[in-house]
Structure 1
């Protein structure tokens, strides 16, 4: 691997850590970075899943005060998300590479739309309640999506958790990151055993993810997030168009 490739991967990881902890769209930065250094789409996706485990570690380290007293809740939700991640990994391994290249732009565009609609989703959440079975089913489905690709899985998870609990945003955001990390972990174990993970790229990108996700929670507490979310969503739509053009040619 060339030094320039390593720089791209680290920067992509830092961006993933920041956007993941602040906006729930980590793959917007990390997945294109892996493509940019020449890794094929399926291999880039499974490598991305492995690298993003560092996001969970960094976010957990940066949100200890928000996660205080959340142990039982995290354990239950994480177990359900992990089962979903296993199902998502199995689904990905059965998806032909050519099909995956067409699906990814749609998933990224969906992520951008959800990011822009997050405030209406939160307002809707404030007027609804969610039973435990419904919450479990929603977490499982999001876990499947997270294990399969995961762009905007954080946005979906945040919206669901906001429906289920009345608590400050930083707490919900911290819980979201850990629960989604369980989905990534279970999928990453499958990928490590049977999928073409690029381990050098995953290790280098994980360093950037760790840094970005450790810094991100402190920024969530301090900066206005609406302009940031809008900028990320616009960038995601641009990326979706580029990847669609790439798949078509």
Structure 2
């Protein structure tokens, strides 16, 4: 790795750790960055999953106050996420690499759309809370939907957090910051589960030095996201993420 590559990947990790904690779409920064430096898509995805675990951990730690009293909710939703992420990671390993190369541009495109629609999810949840509505927690539907986001998170995961905020905000009677804290825990579970599968099954295919650099940046980013992320202009974040996502799609399709 050249010094330029190290710096770029480190900064991408910082950005991803911050964005994952605040928004939930950091892989739209790191995955395209790895592609730009020539990593094959599947290798980039696995390396990305391993590297971002550190950022998820620091982000969850930063939201520990918002998570106070949410243990019962997490006990119901964490297993669903874990099972879903395990299935998604195994799909990545079982399906041919050509399938990933075809599907990933679609997933990135979906992620970009979800990021851009994120304010609508949040605004809808905020209106319901302001009107005094208390959404009923659907004991079957909520774990099922969260489990499906876990499958997505285990397979690729970009913008999984946006999906989770939309689902949790609509179905849990909790403040938005608490919802964001729960989202960070579930995102970490999905990320760590897929990373563990990749390490155990095909550890030799992971770019370990790159994962270390990425993880260092993500760790710092998670701390920054928890401390100052709420002050970052969301429209600007979404614009940057959308632009990077479009660049990644163009590169994968025509590069």
Segments of structure 2 that go 5 or more residues without pairing to the other structure are none
Structure-2 separation of matches of 1:221 and 1:33:
24
1:240 matched residue in structure 2: 249
Q: Following superposition of structure 1 onto structure 2, how do residues 103-114 of structure 1 map, counting pairs within 5 Å?
A: 103-114=103-114
Name the stretch that deviates more: 155-164 or 216-225.
Answer: 216-225
Name the stretch that deviates more: 226-235 or 200-209.
Answer: 226-235
What are the superposed Cα offsets for residues 48-87 of structure 1, whole Å, 9 maximum, x if unpaired?
1111111221102221221222223223311210111110
Report deviation, 1:4.
2.3
Structure-1 separation of matches of 2:123 and 2:165:
13
Report deviation, 1:129.
4.5
SS in 1 for 2:140: helix
Report deviation, 1:123.
4.5
Q: Following superposition of structure 1 onto structure 2, how do residues 1-249 of structure 1 map, counting pairs within 5 Å?
A: 1-125=1-125, 126=128, 129-195=136-202, 196-246=205-255
Structure-2 separation of matches of 1:178 and 1:51:
16
Q: Once superposed, what is the RMSD of the aligned Cα atoms?
A: 1.8
- Would the aligned equivalents of 2:109 and 2:245 in 1 still touch at CA under 8 Å? yes
Structure-2 separation of matches of 1:148 and 1:92:
6
Structure-2 separation of matches of 1:226 and 1:131:
32
Alignment CA distance shift 1:223-1:36 (3 Å)? closer
- Would the aligned equivalents of 1:66 and 1:174 in 2 still touch at CA under 8 Å? yes
- Would the aligned equivalents of 1:82 and 1:183 in 2 still touch at CA under 8 Å? yes
Structure-1 separation of matches of 2:241 and 2:136:
29
Name the stretch that deviates more: 228-237 or 106-115.
Answer: 228-237
Segments of structure 1 that go 5 or more residues without pairing to the other structure are none
What are the superposed Cα offsets for residues 163-182 of structure 1, whole Å, 9 maximum, x if unpaired?
12133222211110111111
Structure-2 separation of matches of 1:39 and 1:118:
30
- Would the aligned equivalents of 2:19 and 2:26 in 1 still touch at CA under 8 Å? yes
What TM-score do you get using the length of structure 2 for normalisation?
0.89
SS in 1 for 2:214: helix
Alignment CA distance shift 1:197-1:75 (3 Å)? farther
Structure 1 runs of 4+ aligned residues shifted over 6 Å read none
- Would the aligned equivalents of 2:46 and 2:198 in 1 still touch at CA under 8 Å? yes
Matched length:
246
